[in-house]
Structure 1
Amino acid sequence: MPGISQPQPPHAVYIHIPFCTNKCFYCDFNSYVLKDQPVMDYLRALDHEMELTTLQTPPGEIKSIFVGGGTPTVLSPQEMEFFLNSVRRHFPHWANDLEFTMEANPGTTDREKLAVMKAGGVNRVSFGVQAFQNELLSGIGRIHNTDDVYKSLDNARAVGLDNLSIDLMFGLPNQTVEMLDYSVTKALELGLPHYSIYSLKVEENTLFHTMYQKNQLPLPNEEDELKMYLLLMERMKRAGYKQYEISNFGKPGFESRHNITYWRNEDYYGLGAGAHGYVARQRHVNIKGVNPYVEAAKQGFPRLEQFEVSREEAMEDFVMVGLRMLDGIRKADFYAQFDENLQQVFAEPLHKMLEAGLLEAHEDHGGYRLSERGVLFGNEVFAEFIDVLTA
């Protein structure tokens, strides 16, 4: 109708490739061992979901694309080319500075495949390295070794991909503070523009959860895990990396723009088996299994569920995910999204966390961020904002 402005289409696209060479012991992501999987059927179903999605919400300029998994780089060069052509066809308007990230497992990226990725528009690769000790890698079910890491990074650079990131993990079984220190040293020697360093979470429906229940998982104690986190924060800062989110460190200008979309609670397309999407305050979750997803996509949208996010829930999400970033949240951004005053809506939890010294006001009093101590207790801070408005 005249006079009513249409909501802007998302600027970000998440696409899920659910195949892996094997299932890691800690992984609860929607992933399936590649052997005997109907990969091309899946890619065609994904192409159809893209078609339906872009008919329903025509895309404007796309600023970030993130392909996660699983391990997207288990696709063959031919499968990869088909997939990337699909993406380009359905989302044709790319920003000049588009960030197009693909997750990769060391050992699954030869030069031919990386060249296909680069030709298809991928300009950022995130490698799941996790540790630089082979005994730790085999202990968490990874099938690569440290030699594969160096080879994969060399291959990426050889085809002109130099916006590279690696993931590391701490709090792993049998990992000591010294072992993490060694991994951080080896990681920093690579001189990459970005690092993600996560603590292990023992999730249900994983081998580690079963072992944990049986008291067979030799995890570091809480004191050592805290030492690990303090150590990695200090070392990354000393090496010139900005900690811009609880688990993420980057050189200036190399922060993950796609992930910042999530942390700012902005809209994004979500495509593929088990993928989540968020468009115009509608959240959806896709069917998880590969064959059920393929069958459902033939009939229409392959949804497991779709629901409207209430205004109150969106406000809570804004604060909880926004505070993950070390720059925190801005009152002006909250007002722009909700036409309400952040301090009034969340008066009680803000006051409580400020008094506890876990939050602090920005220097210009334009918003809030985690304090230095609050970074260590982020989950406790976020919990204060859950169900404040929706209970």
Structure 2
Amino acid sequence: MIPVANQEPQGPSLYLHVPFCRSKCPYCDFYSVVGNQAQLDGYVKLLLQQLAWLNRRQVFTAPLATVFFGGGTPSLLAPRQVAAILDRIRYTAGLSANAEISLEANPGTVDAASLQGYRDAGVNRLSFGVQSLQDDALQLLGRGHSAKEAVQVVTWARQVGFENVGCDLMFGLPNQGRKELLQDLDALLQLQPDHMSCYGLTVEAGTPFEQRRLRGALALPDEDEFPELYLTVHEQLTAAGFEHYEISNYALPDRRCRHNLAYWRRQPCFAVGAGAHSFIPAGYGTRREVPADLDRYRQRLMQGRDPAVTLETFDRQGAMAETLYLGLRCQEGVSDKDFFRQFGLGVAEAFPEAVRRCGQRLTLDAGRWRFDLQGWLLFDHFISFFL
């Protein structure tokens, strides 16, 4: 049975961005800086200050259903700092009884004691940036851990009582073929994760990897090889009992990331921290961001001012397009009835030409629009018809 929207407990979400890393990976274009402990300690105080600022303006109107510490490397925060932040969240916003509280962690930045500390603080979901269990691939990616360390942290997480553990995997790596990918998948499955996020390596503008590619020093799989790798991930993980519930995400039963589902469903999400993005669904929706600038973030908060700025206030057409852009990423798809209820017309009526051009890759089944696996493989191409 394909899951439908709104099965998970309802309530707003909160994202906290921690833009500090021990080193910058050569493929990464996310906002992060290499900082020292004093900077990290000062940043935690700013996060607490922004939470208090939001509370004074009565932004939080219901207990939070999900909290997500992302980055950067949130596992550079000490457990006591995570505990202080979650205590402030409980006081200002409140947490639902079964709130999902996730923390991204890089192997090599945690040990059994810190993982126990995170669990004691209230974290109940971990997402490990494993990326690969081949040491040569990890070195190429600039990761600060070994395959052995990655295996160890997952073992520790289980030992201290975490029941919801995810691992990230990158594929389409330089010199990687199907054989090497199968080795990585087999090794990761032996760790028995509850969730896996599997991303094809993309070379982003302005990164060291782009410079290497321009010099001809980065041998990436070609366009014909990438589909085979993507389908290999799908075949292996679904055979192992994982639900392929979003283009790049797989979960065992009841282990889908509820926080990310809130993004894809355009549900309310507050955000704190430099580089964090929020979404308020009132009207046709508004997206805001805290600019990725630590000095500006500090100055605005010290002045008692809102550090966030409005990125986009959607009109009806923009909201319809984004609803499909986000919803069609997911296996649950987009309910035609919900779409009509919100916008006054169905998907085929709103985008007749786009639906026609997608052909058999996009179907309406049991009242929900969905792409098939080949549609996901060419998602950027097909979704462009709606944008």
TM-score under structure 2 length normalisation: 0.92
1:140: which partner in 2? 141
How far the C-alpha of 1:166 sits from its partner, in A, is: 0.2
Answer whether contact 1:77 1:112 (CA < 8 A) is retained: no
Query: Secondary structure at the residue paired with 1:38?
Result: helix
- What does the per-residue CA deviation read over 1:35-68, in whole Å, with 9 as the maximum and x for residues that have no partner? 3651122111111211222324223021111110
How far the C-alpha of 1:298 sits from its partner, in A, is: 1.6
Q: Are 1:315 and 2:320 an aligned pair?
A: yes
- What does the per-residue CA deviation read over 1:261-300, in whole Å, with 9 as the maximum and x for residues that have no partner? 1111222111110111111322111121223212222221
Match of 1:327 among 319, 332, 335: 332
Match of 2:290 among 270, 286, 311: 286
How far the C-alpha of 1:375 sits from its partner, in A, is: 2.1
- What does the per-residue CA deviation read over 1:50-92, in whole Å, with 9 as the maximum and x for residues that have no partner? 1222324223021111110001001123333333323333222
- Which consecutive unaligned segments of at least 5 residues does structure 1 have? 1-8, 387-391
- What does the per-residue CA deviation read over 1:198-230, in whole Å, with 9 as the maximum and x for residues that have no partner? 101111121111212222211112222221111
Tell which deviates more after alignment, 334-343 or 279-288.
Answer: 334-343
Closer/same/farther in 2, CA of residues 168 and 261 from structure 1, 3 Å limit = same
Closer/same/farther in 2, CA of residues 53 and 136 from structure 1, 3 Å limit = same
1:6: which partner in 2? none
- What does the per-residue CA deviation read over 1:154-209, in whole Å, with 9 as the maximum and x for residues that have no partner? 22122211200000001112222211110000111111211111101111121111
Tell which deviates more after alignment, 336-345 or 173-182.
Answer: 336-345
Counterparts in 2 of 1:130-209, with a 5 A limit?
130-209=131-210
Counterparts of 1:351 and 1:167, CA distance in 2? 35
Query: Secondary structure at the residue paired with 1:186?
Result: helix
How far the C-alpha of 1:373 sits from its partner, in A, is: 2.0
1:228: which partner in 2? 229
- What does the per-residue CA deviation read over 1:346-388, in whole Å, with 9 as the maximum and x for residues that have no partner? 12211221x2x221221x2x121012321221111111111xx
Answer whether contact 1:81 1:117 (CA < 8 A) is retained: yes
How far the C-alpha of 1:10 sits from its partner, in A, is: 5.8
Tell which deviates more after alignment, 373-382 or 301-310.
Answer: 301-310
How far the C-alpha of 1:103 sits from its partner, in A, is: 0.4
Match of 1:298 among 285, 296, 302: 302
Counterparts of 2:113 and 2:89, CA distance in 1? 20
Counterparts in 2 of 1:96-107, with a 5 A limit?
96-107=97-108
Query: Secondary structure at the residue paired with 2:224?
Result: helix
Could you tell me which amino acid in structure 1 is paired with residue 99 of structure 2?
L
Could you tell me which amino acid in structure 2 is paired with residue 346 of structure 1?
F
Counterparts of 2:341 and 2:119, CA distance in 1? 37
Counterparts of 2:189 and 2:20, CA distance in 1? 30
Could you tell me which amino acid in structure 1 is paired with residue 317 of structure 2?
E
Answer whether contact 1:10 1:59 (CA < 8 A) is retained: no
Q: Are 1:28 and 2:33 an aligned pair?
A: no
Q: Are 1:346 and 2:333 an aligned pair?
A: no
Query: Secondary structure at the residue paired with 1:102?
Result: strand
Q: How much identity, in percent, do the aligned residues show?
A: 33
1:3: which partner in 2? none
1:91: which partner in 2? 93
Figure out how many residues of one structure are paired with residues of the other and give that number. 373
2:361: which partner in 1? 358
Query: Secondary structure at the residue paired with 2:386?
Result: coil
Could you tell me which amino acid in structure 2 is paired with residue 358 of structure 1?
R
- What does the per-residue CA deviation read over 1:300-345, in whole Å, with 9 as the maximum and x for residues that have no partner? 1112544422222111100011000022111122123334332211
Counterparts of 2:261 and 2:27, CA distance in 1? 25
Counterparts in 2 of 1:100-139, with a 5 A limit?
100-139=101-140
Counterparts of 1:98 and 1:79, CA distance in 2? 19
How far the C-alpha of 1:234 sits from its partner, in A, is: 0.6
Counterparts of 1:319 and 1:181, CA distance in 2? 33
Query: Secondary structure at the residue paired with 2:122?
Result: coil
Q: Are 1:65 and 2:70 an aligned pair?
A: no
Counterparts of 1:305 and 1:378, CA distance in 2? 28
Tell which deviates more after alignment, 283-292 or 29-38.
Answer: 29-38
How far the C-alpha of 1:232 sits from its partner, in A, is: 0.9
Answer whether contact 2:60 2:92 (CA < 8 A) is retained: no
Answer whether contact 2:106 2:129 (CA < 8 A) is retained: yes
Query: Secondary structure at the residue paired with 1:109?
Result: coil
TM-score under structure 1 length normalisation: 0.91
Query: Secondary structure at the residue paired with 2:221?
Result: coil
Counterparts of 1:219 and 1:358, CA distance in 2? 28
Answer whether contact 2:21 2:73 (CA < 8 A) is retained: yes
Counterparts of 1:221 and 1:141, CA distance in 2? 22
Counterparts of 1:91 and 1:115, CA distance in 2? 25
Tell which deviates more after alignment, 55-64 or 230-239.
Answer: 55-64
Answer whether contact 1:111 1:156 (CA < 8 A) is retained: yes
